[in-house]
Amino acid sequence: MSSRRSSQRIVVLGAGYTGMLTAIRAAGRTRRHGGHVTLVNPSSRFTERLRMHQIATGQSLPDFQIVDVLDGTGVDFVQGWATAIDPDAREVTVTTADGTRVLPYDRLVYALGGKADRTTVPGADVHAHTLDDPASAARLATRLAEIAAAGGTVTVCGAGLTGIEAATEIAESFPSIRTVLLSRDVPGSMMGERARAYLNAALERLHVEVRSGVEITKVLPDAVELSGGELVHTDAALWTTGVRAAATAARSGIATDDHGRIVVDATLRSVSHPAIYAVGDAAAVRQAYGVLHGTCQSGLPTAVHAADAIGRELRGRRPKPFRFGYMHQPVSLGRHDAVIQFTRADDTPRRWHLTGRRAVAYKEFVSSSPMTTYRLSKLFALPSRALWTRGGRANPAPRV
């Protein structure tokens, strides 16, 4: 075996949905060609980001340990924080419980994801809760229990899919809480008319007060300020609007966009450092219809593509352009209701949608599908089209 094939070190930063799938698939795709995968993540537990609103309302979720998910893949797991990247030396500095480690790499996959962007409105970073991780969701759960006992008010800032799911989950779980949903756009603005009407009826049924067409200008300890000076009293504010990627890439001199995402080319490689791939929320991925917005739906295909592209590189082949088309907008409305809007590849709504029990079953399938995908990926080298059946025309990545 040549030295080139025996020393291909692949480091994946972040064990969320995309990082986990990239690591598992890359291990299978590169093992015969000298690839060795190391996965780095601060927590030993795999986080189901799609279910953070359930943790926030006090529900218990299965405890998936990363080492158990990786069992049988040959992937090494390092628990720690990736604090710096030296893209010229091709090294990652990782802070662990035992000290600092430096991990050299030949290929790096940046999958650190993003968090709620609380930098756009004064006070949001100090006074607003988020659903960024299990710890922040658990803190909100504790606060919600206190507010429910006192019959207080919770404001959900932002009526995107995360905001809608959070507001309906809170309203269903804590009927004594006054739940207020604040947003510039109407809830479900991306949906078709019929799906949006069903959504609005569900919000009304759950007694969620909707204030659309408003602009939040400040978050205070006990209120949310709107443009014009109106104060909406709240005992807790939940911030769900806007996402910002981890700052590690920008601090390390890697080309990023205004949201901190790594700017990538058509193959998902960094435009400034081609040995680095970026996936999921951490990547500014441009398609013919625009830049992908961060969802599990679009993130998992980027993971599959990055793993396959690295495999192609190790076999001496050129990576192919990434192509992706959206399929649906699945939204839970508490534990007993949901609405699914089916979409065109550019995420505009089609005529078809699901509601009620069928939509609940569909949404639960979507939420649980990543774990099934990981298990299948450990057993079989599934072709990408077996996992992601739709695609669009690829476009070059945006310039910095």
Q: Residue 303: inside a domain, yes or no?
A: yes
pLDDT value of residue 383: 61
Q: Residue 393: inside a domain, yes or no?
A: no
Instruction: Look at residues 337, 149, 157, 338 and name the one whose alpha carbon lies nearest to residue 234.
Output: 157
Successive 10-residue mean pLDDT values, the chain, 400 residues: 63 98 97 95 96 96 96 97 97 97 98 94 98 96 98 97 97 98 96 98 98 97 97 98 94 97 98 98 96 92 97 96 96 98 97 97 95 88 54 41
Final residue before a domain boundary, out of 239, 260, 277: 239
pLDDT value of residue 56: 97
pLDDT value of residue 399: 35
Q: Which is it for strands 243-245 and 236-239: parallel, antiparallel or unpaired?
A: unpaired
This prediction's pTM: 0.93
Final residue before a domain boundary, out of 209, 239, 269: 239
Based on the domain organization, do 270 and 383 belong to the same domain?
Answer: yes
Based on the domain organization, do 125 and 49 belong to the same domain?
Answer: no
Query: What are the residues whose beta carbons fall under 8 Å from the beta carbon of 286, sequence distance 6 or more?
Result: 292, 395, 396, 397, 398
Cα–Cα distance between 68 and 375 in angstroms, integer? 11
Final residue before a domain boundary, out of 207, 239, 271: 239
Based on the domain organization, do 370 and 383 belong to the same domain?
Answer: yes
Instruction: Look at residues 219, 115, 217, 202 and name the one whose alpha carbon lies nearest to residue 164.
Output: 202
Domain that holds residue 356: 3-115+243-387
Number of residues written out for the chain: 400
Instruction: Look at residues 303, 305, 346 and name the one whose alpha carbon lies nearest to residue 326.
Output: 346
Based on the domain organization, do 381 and 248 belong to the same domain?
Answer: yes
Cα–Cα distance between 323 and 301 in angstroms, integer? 9
pLDDT digits (tens, 9 = 90+) for 67-97: 999 999 999 999 999 999 999 999 999 999 9
Q: Residue 397: inside a domain, yes or no?
A: no
Which CA distances in Å does 76 have to 5, 36, 283, 340?
Answer: 18, 8, 24, 38
Into how many domains does the chain fold? 2
Based on the domain organization, do 91 and 12 belong to the same domain?
Answer: yes
Instruction: For residue 176, give the CATH number of its domain.
Output: 3.50.50.60
pLDDT value of residue 4: 43
Inter-axis angle of helices 17-30 and 296-314, nearest 10:
20
Based on the domain organization, do 20 and 157 belong to the same domain?
Answer: no
Tell me the CA end-to-end span of the chain in Å, nearest whole number. Answer: 40
